[in-house]
Structure 1
């Protein structure tokens, strides 16, 4: 009996307005560990206000620290066929991640043309929406906050063939984008899923030796 291949995690980049998929970057190897940090928005700051001790002023600030490895000798294939070839190196996979934090050349050229004509830009360009997929239960809209690439091996033309990518991402919530944005809908579905799983924990107080006094 053939053992099914493990589900890969990775990033799906969406058009922020239409929600269509622009590109998919799977993790070549699923991370050995992921560090998550949740910081509540309690509104207290440094005031020490007792009335605010248990109040929550919005979704927590949630961040993920992820190390992803890439190796040219073991590139994943797409679900519907082989992934598009980008040569015998990692420039394709790395560039797909790097372009998520860079305006496109067309956007930069347009900005320059507008500036040269004295046209005031009202809002900066909007980048594709990164969605971090860690299995079916965790599909999270995120913003890439930090991105470090360590190239560990090269071919004879100095093209990277093995690399480690350290990513820091922050989960986007309805506080960041509102309820009508694609990212807001994804966040709400994730939060509802988290609440359903939390409701399955049904221990009584005796499980931890707690008694009411």
Structure 2
């Protein structure tokens, strides 16, 4: 339905983009509805040991986790079945499967390893989950690993396909300490780190002058 306010600004949609490296053709999971809230937890990595004068020493960047709930609903698609045959036949299974694939290793690698194991090979290929990027506006694009995924299916069609669901995501931000320099996520994190430095210089909220007058140093 068209907006009653044609001049209202278009709201960007967040999402998750996944790459099964070394392939650079992404799987894009665009949020149908942006979450109402995003919870972020940032914990400093204090350096172990140390003596006097090392109180502010840290062991790399902080550990950051991001939690959100994403609502998915096929009602609008089912109202126009001729234009949405995939939703009619499958409900929300394709979207849910895309979310679940974020925590699974590559299917071709799994099959290859099973074949190698069956043949008695001692060499097993490394099975890695996709590189996932959380895209939450142009100022927050971060490489993440899915710590937990909880899906609550709330309504079903006649074929028991889920047609309304909520996915609760907990994401761990991957840093330059977690990723190899050859991994594209390494550079995505450094770009976000650089942007954070720039944005912090733009902070003009509050009255820093009053605080500055009380500083003892």
TM-score when normalising by structure 2: 0.84
CA shift in 2, pair 1:17/1:109, >3 Å: closer
Pairing partner for 2:173 from 168, 171, 174: 171
Following superposition of structure 1 onto structure 2, how do residues 21-100 of structure 1 map, counting pairs within 5 Å?
21-44=25-48, 49-74=51-76, 85-86=86-87, 87=89, 89-100=91-102
SS in structure 2 at match of 1:115: helix
Write out per-residue CA displacement over residues 58-84 of structure 1, whole angstroms, 9 at most, x where no aligned residue.
Answer: 011110011000000246xxxxxx999
Indicate the larger mover: 186-195 or 66-75.
66-75
CA contact (8 A) 1:72 1:88 kept: no
Partner of 1:212: 216
Structure-2 residue corresponding to 1:7? 12
State the shift of 1:157 in Å: 1.7
Check 1:176–1:210 CA distance in 2 against 1; reply closer, same or farther (3 A cut): same
1:178 Cα deviation from its structure 2 partner: 2.6
Structure 1 gaps of 5+ residues are 76-81
SS in structure 2 of the partner of residue 175 of structure 1: coil
Moved over 6 A (4+): none
* Count of residues in Structure 1 that have an aligned counterpart in Structure 2: 204
SS of corresponding position for 1:28: coil
Task: Give the gaps of 5 or more residues in structure 2.
Answer: 1-5, 78-82
Shift in Å, 1:5: 3.0
